[in-house]
Structure 1
């Protein structure tokens, strides 16, 4: 395994981590090695990473608690969210402590470093493996410009609560709007895989009385918390889990999904393909799957592999809407 950049910086002596410090790691990756950082509290709201951290015996939470002697920020693809994480690290670390920020060039680490350098002196930078780690000393007073980076939930279109880092934080995306508008009348138990901040579920529940329950299955804790405020129908059930591995005590009558298709900044059709396979596994033999996707994504073969019937219901504005039935996994079990 390639050592993490902070491990290299610690081993070389370039980065001095406070002895005995309680360390905060924001957006902690499930596979990262934090052994050199002392007593770590890892903050991670993305369920798959959170589960991996917990399985390794690391103290993993969805929100930071108290003050820390040092912090490491693992950046994300959303620059506003990353800058918010830096602001949180500065607020949580006591004066004189270390704040380190790590990320790949493809994630935007250069831009983040530039933004921080405009406001505070940086103590050191390590470039390695197409990425950078930089660190600085938490000053007695944090510049107001950095404090202002802290993201707060926003009200969009006078109705929806969203925040930076969520999918489509500026409002409902066109794909979800298309699926909400064209999905037929549903009955029984329904699931929304990758429910995000809840637009699709809220819209369908408003229009359809035949649904008994609608499970919003979402891996990102902050998005699910926004959905808790956006979806007020009592038939909604919020589930924090990885949609691709979720298990349910009984099969669903219908499943809806506008699946994610990016890993960091790169398109990854494998994510949507995993959602298709999961839907086939979770549906009743008579169940129906409705999915919207960007037109260029290659999902037709995967739908045919997991369902006995699959057809395109519409192609509008760069999106395709699919309906699939006769799940092959359901027939085998």
Structure 2
């Protein structure tokens, strides 16, 4: 296995790391090797539930929000430039003057764009290019430039008044797929769940329009999105679960499940994510339960739906999306 770029920079003596003090890692990746940074000193901050759970299983100090003052920080960027710059700003404010801030990411995640933005405000101490990515690092100055505050991603509101923030899926407003589902899904009855609920648009609309829903569980892996959903969905029938939707175990099975599942890993399309949501829905539904899923027209979900459900039909094909209904879940009865 190729060492992480920060490990190489430290081993080569290019980057100097403090020998004492807490180390902050923002958006800590689940399988990353932090031993060169002082593993026992690391606070691994990660709001994506599957990665957070894997970090905790490795007995790292895994958190959703940082706490304390730090001698150094590593930022692992994400595909959203706005969120990545906000992470850099957070690291700069939480590391004491004279401490080291390192920023790491792949070229297809936008590391060059982040490097360019940081260089406009702050001098760099060094860079390392390796394995289609780049690491750069700098010393935290005594006084931060005014422009750093502009990087901090503050929650905003869509035209419809929903709370969102940079880095969330469709932060500027509901995506067309979600709009198709809430417009065309039939009346739901009993206990329902929203798998991959995001910032809560579909649940908010359906709870507002359908009194026949007895309860709605919003299940979302991204902590910040779930916090936004709490602000957006004030119906007493709603409950909120920070969890990997594909592994979630409900207290009892549902009468209905809705989903607009994610289909990207980083910047690459990954139909396996939606396929995992289909399998999870089949497992969570009652034998009489119904699954309603919207997906981009080109994604190959028909075979997976047929494998996990006894009945199914295409309710609509509109605006580049397909809305499916599936019933008779095979769930745990599958071998």
Name the counterpart of 1:61.
Answer: 63
1:96-147 CA deviation, whole Å, 9 max, x = no partner? Answer: 1000000000100011111111111111111111100100001111111122
Find the residue that maps to 1:31 and give its secondary structure: coil
Contact 1:219–1:243 (8 Å) recurs in 2: yes
Q: Distance in 2 between matches of 1:332 and 1:145?
A: 56
Find the residue that maps to 2:283 and give its secondary structure: helix
* Cα RMSD (Å): 1.0
Find the residue that maps to 2:121 and give its secondary structure: coil
Name the counterpart of 1:129.
Answer: 131
Task: Provide structure 2 residue ranges, at least 5 long, that are not aligned to the other structure.
Answer: none
Contact 1:257–1:290 (8 Å) recurs in 2: yes
Name the counterpart of 1:35.
Answer: 35
Give 1:51's match in structure 2, choosing from 45, 48, 53: 53
Task: Provide structure 1 residue ranges, at least 5 long, that are not aligned to the other structure.
Answer: none
Name the counterpart of 2:141.
Answer: 139
Alignment of 1:263-302 (within 5 A): 263-302=265-304
Moved more, 69-78 or 111-120: 111-120
Q: Distance in 1 between matches of 2:20 and 2:219?
A: 39
Find the residue that maps to 2:247 and give its secondary structure: coil
Moved more, 61-70 or 98-107: 61-70
Name the counterpart of 1:5.
Answer: 5
Contact 1:283–1:330 (8 Å) recurs in 2: no
Give 1:255's match in structure 2, choosing from 257, 278, 289: 257
Contact 1:27–1:73 (8 Å) recurs in 2: yes
Deviation, structure 1 residue 66: 2.1
Name the counterpart of 1:314.
Answer: 316
Q: Distance in 2 between matches of 1:206 and 1:79?
A: 34
Q: Distance in 2 between matches of 1:305 and 1:332?
A: 9
Alignment of 1:93-132 (within 5 A): 93-132=95-134
Q: Aligned residues, how many?
A: 333
Name the counterpart of 1:17.
Answer: 17
Name the counterpart of 2:172.
Answer: 170
Alignment of 1:103-252 (within 5 A): 103-252=105-254
How high is the TM-score relative to the length of structure 1? 0.98
Find the residue that maps to 1:164 and give its secondary structure: coil
Alignment of 1:84-99 (within 5 A): 84-99=86-101
